[in-house]
Chains A and B, each alone.
Chain A
Amino acid sequence: MSTTPAAATGGPAVRVRGATRRFAGAPALDDVTFDVAEHSVCGLLGRNGAGKTTLMSLLAGHDRPDAGTVEVLGEQPFENARAAGASLLVRDDQRYPDDFHLAHVLRVGPLFHPAWDAALAAEVVERFRIPSKPQVKKFSRGQRSALGILLGLASRAPLTILDEPVLGLDATARGHFGELLVREVSEHPRTVVLSTHLVDEVERVLDRVLVLDHGRLVLDAGVDEARDRAHVVLGPAEAVESATAGLRALSSRRVGGFLELVLEGPAAPATARAARAAGLQVRPAGLQELVAALGAGDAEPPATPRPAPVPSATPAPGAPR
């Protein structure tokens, strides 16, 4: 509560410049550049196969980019002794050794993370009802996710990366996750990067969003800013088309005689007034709508260059922000 996040050390927790990673010739990540401010909660969004998991692997040091640089907490994370203990990536398809039970996981966590909070781990076990009898191998999808959340939260890793942490969780459990996450981040500040498809639910927990599509970064914005990035016009097809002529549509949807367009940028007041007068609905696009539109793949070629990265705080040591 007393220190503002980036002022503590200056410089972003994650610094990615031109990262590219190819698998079998095809780019899973293509020239990705962004920063993640220290102690922020950053959402990594996009369709399946957009490159989110690949990017998270790079951040965690599990993998190395084919081109470009990845810096985490000031270091390149791959095969890095220092970075290894400072970050943790829980995957959605995490494998555990045979015969591993909950008790083993609880025993193993503190070996790798000195700041491990056993009380928090116990709270997660209780809230999410993680069973202690069966092998982890036999856990349901939701129980595995809960276990992943346990590792992610209790470790207090300075960079915690969660790949689809709420997959398979029921609504009650998802509520617990949201509450625990923000409480943790508030009381013990750390940088969190998480990927999810439940954008609406998770949006309120985020500071910033990064959206990937076909390996490219198509949005890098604060959560509040994102509202200004697109607007929706809905109504009878012809009226919509005439009202939005000349504007760049990110996605379009036709149902019956109706047309819904997600258009780039905020609605110009004059255009909005005219559209409403014509009986059309005009409103800012919610984050989930924006993400869906960016992944729709039927956007017209960009008239403007891709979003520029947020300028990071001056990295000069000791310099006030």
Chain B
Amino acid sequence: MTTTSAPGAAPGAGRAARGPGASAVAVLRLQTTKRFETFGSPLVVLGTGLLATALVALVVWRATPAGSGTWVEVSRGLQLVLWWLVGYMGYNGVQSVATTFPLALTLGTTRAAFTAGTVAHHVLVSAHVTLVALALLGLEQLTDRWFTGVHLLDSRLLGDGDPVRLVAILFLSQLAALSLGGAFAAVWVRHGPRVTFASGVAVVLVLALVAALVVPGVADLAGAFRLWWLSVLAVAVIAVCALVQTLALRRAAVR
């Protein structure tokens, strides 16, 4: 992968050896230095999201005089977990660039290696949380919906209990959130808060415009079809964000 000069080697060895900071793996390891924050916190967020779903569903059920059918319906429709997780990942994405890039640069890395390592980090974290969620889904089904019938992971937005859809939705949405956070952080590092805010507004407006034009046409299409399009969209978003990140950081004056 990389050749490194031996410690205390003859002077001039530093010229020949390829610095390990150029490796994306070093950046990945930098990003995952804080073990608990990297792997533990997202699970805590996932857990609290599920718990919140259960509690809110409970509250709603208690509030309505109809039978337990309503509770099930409500919990199926609750989208808490997804937004909760996505929001948290957005924050993480920002962190992974805004405060990690300056340190990586100081230690010695190229922008290309940094972006590669950061994307790898995002993939790793998304996959990790998705797998845990998948396991929980299995558990939910095994315990016959947590012995109470409440739908936590088997909800409409998370694929209605279909593991393939769950994986696709969770993985891609988290990765997209991380990528978006990273891209915006990169723009912020490069251009400062005002440009970032302005570009954020611009992106939202463009998306709203596109959605307004496109959505009526797809409203009557099957759910699975919609998922496939969203997946493609998510991948596109992730790719674009990686590009934005590289370009923005390239000329970033980290002063």
> Hey, which bits of chain A sit against chain B, CB under 8 A?
3, 8-9, 23, 38-39, 53-54, 57, 60-63, 73-75, 79-91, 93-100, 104, 107-109, 111-117, 151, 155-159, 188-189
Closest B residue by C-beta to A88: B108
Instruction: Judge if B208 is at the interface, Cβ distance under 8 Å.
Output: no
Closest beta carbon of chain B to A37's beta carbon, Å: 12
B17 at the interface (CB under 8 A from A): yes
B12 at the interface (CB under 8 A from A): yes
Shortest CB–CB separation between residue B208 and chain A, in angstroms? 32
Complex: A60 Cα to B254 Cα, angstroms: 12
Chain A residues with Cβ below 8 Å from B102 are 91, 94-96
A-B contact pairs, 30 of them (CB 8 A): A8-B12, A9-B11, A57-B254, A73-B14, A79-B112, A81-B22, A81-B113, A84-B109, A84-B110, A85-B19, A85-B21, A85-B108, A86-B17, A87-B108, A88-B106, A91-B254, A95-B103, A96-B102, A98-B95, A98-B99, A108-B30, A111-B26, A112-B21, A112-B26, A112-B30, A115-B7, A115-B9, A117-B7, A158-B11, A158-B14
Interface-central residue, B14, B103, B110, B255, by most chain A CB under 10 Å: B14
Q: Please indicate which of the listed interface residues A80, A81, A82, A116 has the most CB atoms of chain B within 10 Å of its own CB.
A: A81
Minimum CB–CB distance for A73 against chain B, Å = 5
Instruction: Decide: A157 and B255 in contact? CB cutoff 8 A.
Output: no
What would 13 more interface pairs be, CB under 8 Å, given A82-B17, A89-B106, A112-B109?
A: A38-B11, A57-B255, A75-B15, A85-B4, A85-B18, A91-B102, A91-B106, A95-B103, A108-B103, A112-B26, A114-B5, A158-B11, A189-B11
Flag whether B111 is at the interface (Cβ < 8 A): yes
CA distance A157 to B15 in the complex (A): 11
Q: B29: which A residues are within 8 A, CB to CB? A: 108, 111
Known contacts A96-B99, A97-B34, A108-B103, A57 near B253 by CB under 8 Å: yes
0/1 interface trace, chain B 178-207, chain A, CB 8 Å (1 if under): 000000000000000000000000000000
Do B19 and A73 have beta carbons less than 8 Å apart?
no
* Chain A interface SS verdict (over half): loop
Residue of A nearest to B103 (CB): A96
Task: Decide if A108 touches B19 in the complex (CB within 8 Å).
Answer: no
Binding site for A on B (CB under 8 A): 4-12, 14-22, 26, 29-30, 33-34, 37, 95, 99-100, 102-103, 105-113, 250, 253-255
Q: Assess whether A156 is in contact with B18, with CB atoms less than 8 Å apart.
A: no
- Shortest C-beta distance, A150 to chain B (Å), equals 12
The answer for the CA separation of A216 and B22 in the assembled complex, in Å, is: 32
Nearest Cβ in chain A — how far from B103, in angstroms? 6
Most buried by A among B16, B18, B95, B107: B107
A91 to B105, CA, bound (A): 11
A74 to B250 Cα, complex, angstroms: 22
Q: CA separation between A94 and B101, bound complex, in Å?
A: 11
Partner among A39, A75, A84 whose Cβ is within 8 Å of the Cβ of B22: A84
Assess the A23–B11 pair: CB atoms within 8 A.
no
CB-defined contacts of A97 to chain B, threshold 8 Å? 33-34, 95, 99-100, 103
Could you tell me the distance in whole angstroms from the C-beta of A185 to the nearest C-beta in chain B? Answer: 12
Residues of A near B18 (CB, < 8 A) are 81-82, 85
> Which B residues touch A8, using CB under 8 A?
10-12
A73, A90, A112: the one within 8 Å of B20 (CB):
A112
Q: Give bound CA distance, A104 to B37, whole Å.
A: 12
A319 to chain B, nearest CB (A): 14
Residue of B nearest to A83 (CB): B19
The docked-state distance in angstroms from the alpha carbon of A99 to that of B91 is 14
- A57 cross-chain contacts in B, Cβ below 8 A: 253-255
Q: A8-B10, A94-B102, A111-B20 are in contact. Are A23 and B253 (CB under 8 A)?
A: yes
**A82 pairs with B7, CB closer than 8 A:** no
Partner of A99, one of B22, B34, B109, B110: B34
Partner of A62, one of B11, B26, B254: B254
Partner of A86, one of B19, B109, B255: B19
